Structures are given as structure tokens and as C-alpha cells.
Amino acid sequence: MDQLNLWRPLALAALLTVALPASAEQLEYRQCLDRALAQNPDLAVSRAQIEQAEAAARQAQGNRLPRLNLSLTASRSNDPLNAFGMKLGQSNVTFGDFGPPAGGPFGSYPANLNTLNNPDAVNNFNSRIELLVPVYNGGMVQSYVDTAKAYVRAAQSGDRMARQQLAKHVLMAYQGVHTARAYIKLADEAKAAAEEFVRISEKLHRQGMVVKSDVLTAQANLQDVKIKGIEARNAEAAALNQLALLMGQSLDAPLDVGAPVEPAMLPGNPADLRAQAANDHAGLKALRSQVEAAGAQVNVARAGKKPQFNVMLRQDWNDDTLGFDASSYTVAGVLSWSAFDGGTTNAAIDRAQAQRNELLAKLRQAEEGIGYQVTDAHRKAQEAEEKIAARQAGLEQAREAQRLVKRRYENGMATLIELLGAQAQLDKANADLVAARYELAVNRAELKRAVGVLDPAAENL
């Protein structure tokens, strides 16, 4: 029964023994996974990251298009320059704005410029429509678009990887419930055997065939077996709680599981599976997309060395009241080229290139790591299959050995220590077989996850 502890990596916490309510909802593995895919908080984060990346892509695409700005500015000023400029924009300038006229043979002209230098306050309402048209920006906008699209692909690959990981965790918790229940059954059988040993030892003690210490040892063994039963039931409760957490459900909601599942073995040798993982693993695809995004950022930095040309079209209306009396337009083309920036653009290029090199190194490291994971998962999956046959054979041998020792003890030809040892070996053989079945399911699922083909949408694993 020492193997009862094998399930513990599945448990979040040990809980008190609880009876499963009759009203508990029973869910098959497929139903549990569907709920987890819809409600798991980690996947909600993944979906939000995709939405962010898609919004960034739309934002980058928008920089290709002209910008139309509408504005209305109301101002009042007695500053000589501003006041005269506003009246000029309104087409309201008169000779009187320059000062009082003076008579003479050469006509009227300002006697002085006091009025121009000290004008009354002028009101102005400027209504404007402005169109900014990007013509050429050295490829900067396209590089921003490429960056954003690469991040969208990276986020989508990351979401697929998170879904595959969730499918494996749901399987572990789901099968963990069945494993714990198998341990409960073994604990109940061990308890019945321990109670039988107590009965036999007490009977033999009354007949004077064994000493009192045998009775006490049998009773102590019974108490130890009872503790194992409590631990097994706590294991079941903890596995159910973990499954509920993965599905995003309340721990207070009663839950039960349906039939156990056993993923099919992924065909192929390790070399072929490593090659398949190099193409299909979502994590590697995400990293490759990040490398593409980093390459696009290098192009963004390089665009700073190229000229930029933009066109501006503007229509203005100026009036001392809200209206459209004085109309004017402006057309401008702006060509700019940074001739010298103190090396900042070159430094930006070097920095972007270094970031891309860092991601390339991480990609190579990840490719090697995934290759190892595939090889290791394939080895463990095959090992689990071999364990099943070995554990079944060992169980039959342990069962026969326990039967023979028990008969010898009843006939006074063996000690209680020998009997308890044989029973412990039988309990261990039973527990080893349960653990092997759990390992078989988990290792097969892990192999598919490592290769990148664990499909949460598939009907069967």
C-alpha cells in the first residue's frame, strides 16, 4: 500500500473524508474537457492575448490610410499680431485697422499706426477639415503590420499549446479520480484482510499456538491499513477538486466522473516523432512567429534611415461668429530625411537585431528541448505498456504467495511476520498495477502533447 502516495502529484490539497452526494453530476472525460475549454481562467487569458494581438494588427493596418481631422477653434485676442492675423483670415481688414486717415493731395493714408499696435480684441471661429495622406515612409508602416501579424500568429499558437496542456491536465485529474478509487478498493480489501488476520491471530492465541504479541501486531496492522483507506479517500476528493478547478467550477458543486479513458499509443519511432514535433508543436510555432516579429522590428528600425514623404490637404473657414464666410485652402507636401541623428538609428537597428538573435537562440534551445521531451515521452509510454504486463504477472504471483503463507500460518507453520509480509507484497502488487495503468494513460497523452498532436477537439484521445 506504499504506492498509494503515487497519485499525490495530482492533488492540490488533502481533504477530509466526504461521501459523494447522490445528486453529484456525472461527467465523461469529453464533457469535462469541453467545460474546461470554455471556462478555464488560463484559457480566458490566452483568448484575451489573441484579441490584443488582433487589435494591434488592425491598428497597424490603419496607419496605411489617410487621416481626416475635423476641428473647431474659438479664440479671442488683442495681441497685435494675432488680432490682425485673425481679421486677415476673416477677410475683414480695412484701412481703418491701420489708424485714422489723413487728408492731402495724395489721398487718404494712416496718420499713425497706434490702432494697429493697440487693437481692440478680436473674436475668431476657425472651422477646419484636414486630410493627412501618408505617401512613403521607408517601409515603416508595412514593417509594423508584419510585426503585428506575426504576434497574432504567435498568440494563436500559444492558445493551441495552452489547450493541449489543459487537455493533458484534465486527463490527469480525471484519471486521478479513477486511480484514487482503485486505491480505495485496494484499501478496503486490505482492511478486510487485516481484520481476518486479527481474527485468525486471536483464534490461534486462544488455542495457545501463537503469543499475545502476534495479536497486538495484527491489531496494529489493522489500524495502519485504516489510515491508508482514509488517505485513499482524501485522494479521491482532492482529484475531484482539481478537476473542478480545471473546469472553472466551484469546489462546492458535487461532481462525479464517468468511465475511465485510455489514449491510443501514437504510432512512429522517436526520430519520426521528433521530425513531426518540429513541424507541429504549437510552442515552436509561437517562437518562430516571435522571431518573425523581431525581424520585422529590425526593418522598422532601418526605416529611420530612409526619407519620408507625406501630403497635407486643409480647408479653413474663419469668422468673427460661428460660420463659414471666409474660406481658404492649403496644400502641402513634406519630404523629410534625417541626415544625422548622432547614431541613434544605428543603435536602434543593432538593438532590434540583438533581440532577434536572442529569440533565435531560444528557438534552437526549445527545438532541442522538444526533441528530448518527445524521446523521453516515447520511452516512458513504451515502458508503461511493459509495466502493465509485468505488474499483472507479479500480482498473480503475490496473490498465490499470500494464499500459501496464510494457509501455513493457520496451520502454525509460519509466523505472523511472514503473513503480513506476504500481504504487504500483495498490496504493493495491486497498487503497482493501478499506478501502471495511470502512467500508461498519462504518458501516452504526454507523448501526443510533446509531439504537438494532442487535439482537444478530437472525439477520442
Cell of 277: 514535433
Cα distances from 358 to residues 170, 279, 302, in angstroms, run 34, 21, 19
Pair 204, 214: CB distance under 8 Å: yes
Cell of 93: 481688414
Sequence-ordered list of residues with C-beta below 8 angstroms from that of 74, at least 6 positions apart, any chain: 123, 124, 125, 126
Cell of 426: 500483495
Domains and CATH numbers, the chain: 2-64+139-451 (1.20.1600.10), 73-99+109-136 (no CATH)
Q: Which residues pair with 26 in a beta bridge?
A: 256
| CA 61 – CA 407 distance, rounded (Å) | 84
Distance of CA 314 to the CA centre of its chain: 48
Q: What is the pLDDT along the chain (461 residues), one digit of tens a residue?
A: 343 343 343 333 333 334 444 467 899 999 999 999 999 888 888 899 999 999 999 999 999 999 999 999 999 999 989 999 998 888 888 877 776 666 555 555 555 677 788 888 999 999 999 999 999 998 999 999 999 999 999 999 999 999 999 999 999 999 999 999 988 988 898 898 889 888 888 888 888 887 888 889 889 989 998 998 999 999 999 999 999 999 988 888 899 999 998 899 999 999 999 999 999 999 999 999 999 999 999 999 999 999 999 999 999 999 988 888 889 999 999 999 988 888 999 999 999 999 999 999 999 999 999 999 999 999 999 999 999 889 889 989 988 998 998 888 888 888 878 888 888 888 888 888 888 999 999 999 999 999 999 888 776 66
Q: How many CB atoms lie within 10 A of CB 25?
A: 12
Pair 453, 412: CB distance under 8 Å: no
| CA 192 – CA 183 distance, rounded (Å) | 14
What DSSP assignment string belongs to 163-207? HHHHHHHHHHHHHHHHHHHHHHHHHHHHHHHHHHHHHHHHHHHHT
DSSP reduced 3-state for 369: helix
| CA 34 – CA 167 distance, rounded (Å) | 9
Q: Which residues pair with 235 in a beta bridge?
A: none
State the residue for C-alpha cell 500481504.
Answer: 423
Pair 412, 214: CB distance under 8 Å: no
Pair 417, 214: CB distance under 8 Å: no
Q: Are strands 255-257 and 25-27 parallel, antiparallel or unpaired?
A: parallel
Percentage helix, strand, coil for the chain under 3-state DSSP, each rounded to 5: 65, 15, 20
Spatial strand order of the sheet with 67-77 comes to 67-77, 122-136, 308-319, 326-336
DSSP reduced 3-state for 459: coil
